[in-house]
């Protein structure tokens, strides 16, 4: 099958939501790392009561790496479709470009991250927004035009 060269609108939609997650993860993660009390983001430290964490450094690192750096790398792949072979090791759909499965993983990781937050600290309205973002990233990744665009896109 011949690879599409022009990006469909649905690809731009996916890129936008992955970009938003990458920025959110990077900014939120950095804020929690430099302010482990949560003060910078106005998150009370008592939210961590009953969790394995005494402060927000570890959650901040997880947020920064898994939901900030990783989506930023995926974003680059979605835009440029680079052939970074290292990411093919986690690509379970070898006929698809690694960034496509990376976007799917990003949405799933975000949903799991929010689920753990709700289990550990309880519900806050912002979690609904980010859970919805995770679902939107997953659905956007599964649009047929997006899948077709990243089909056999190994360059």
Q: How buried is residue 3: exposed, middle or buried, by Cβ count under 10 Å (0-12/13-18/19+)?
A: middle
Q: What is the per-residue pLDDT across 83-142, written as a single tens digit (0 to 9) for each?
A: 888 888 888 888 999 999 999 999 999 999 999 999 988 888 899 999 999 999 999 999
| Model confidence, pTM | 0.91
């Amino acid at each position: 099958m011949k690879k599409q060269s022009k990006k469909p609108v649905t690809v731009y939609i996916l890129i936008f939501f992955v970009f938003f997650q990458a920025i959110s993860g990077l900014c939120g993660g950095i804020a929690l790392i430099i302010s482990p009390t949560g003060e910078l983001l106005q998150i009370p430290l008592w939210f961590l009561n009953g969790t394995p964490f005494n402060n927000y450094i570890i959650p901040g690192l997880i947020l920064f790496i898994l939901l900030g750096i990783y989506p930023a790398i995926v974003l680059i792949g979605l835009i440029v479709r680079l052939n970074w072979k290292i990411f093919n090791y986690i690509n379970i759909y070898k006929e698809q470009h690694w960034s496509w499965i990376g976007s799917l993983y990003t949405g799933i990781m975000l949903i799991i991250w929010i689920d753990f937050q709700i289990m550990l600290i309880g519900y806050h309205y912002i979690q609904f927004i980010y859970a919805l973002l995770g679902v939107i990233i997953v659905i956007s990744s599964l649009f047929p035009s997006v899948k077709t665009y990243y089909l056999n896109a190994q360059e």
